[in-house]
């Protein structure tokens, strides 16, 4: 992974927050519902980097954190902020794994086994 050194401290981006409005798990998928270049240009570099990376395909919070070189905790807070204004779409996870999901996983894995 390419290491990047961001110019500001993490707490500047999060304003000291560590909690998010909605649960964002490491595998929660995030995407950009409609891309707005003007909006992107006005973002802080870190937030912009997350926004751009989620643009093409839905990516998990952990993936975004890794490709942008932003720690998981900061990624969560910034993603949550962008989602609060509908700039990012959070594909809400089943907090409780349901039977139908397991069936789909089983059928998918059988094809690979």
Residues that bind another protein (CB under 8 A): 1, 3, 23, 25-29, 31-34, 58, 60, 62-63, 65-67, 72, 86, 89, 91-95, 97-106, 108-110, 112-113
Q: Please classify residue 40 by burial: count the beta carbons closer than 10 Å to its beta carbon, then call 0-12 exposed, 13-18 middle and 19+ buried.
A: middle
- The nearest distance, CB 94 to another protein, in angstroms, is 7
Task: State which residue, 33 or 42, has the beta carbon closest to another protein.
Answer: 33
Could you list the beta-strand ranges (E) of the chain.
Answer: 29-31, 59-60, 89-91
Q: For residues 18 and 83, what is the distance between their CA atoms, to the nearest angstrom?
A: 16
- The nearest distance, CB 7 to another protein, in angstroms, is 20
- The nearest distance, CB 95 to another protein, in angstroms, is 6
Q: For residues 82 and 78, what is the distance between their CA atoms, to the nearest angstrom?
A: 6
- The nearest distance, CB 37 to another protein, in angstroms, is 17
Task: State which residue, 48 or 93, has the beta carbon closest to another protein.
Answer: 93
**φ and ψ at residue 9, rounded to 5 degrees:** -75, 150
């Amino acid at each position: 992974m390419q290491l990047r050194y961001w110019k500001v401290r993490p707490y500047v981006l999060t304003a000291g927050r560590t909690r998010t409005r909605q649960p964002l798990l490491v595998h929660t998928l995030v995407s950009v519902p409609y891309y707005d270049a003007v909006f992107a240009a006005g973002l802080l570099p870190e937030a912009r980097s997350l926004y751009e990376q989620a643009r093409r395909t839905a990516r998990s919070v952990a993936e975004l954190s890794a490709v942008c070189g932003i720690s998981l905790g900061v990624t969560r807070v910034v993603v949550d902020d962008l989602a609060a204004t509908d700039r990012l779409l959070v594909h809400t996870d089943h907090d409780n794994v349901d039977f139908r999901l397991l069936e789909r996983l089983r059928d998918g894995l059988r094809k690979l086994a």
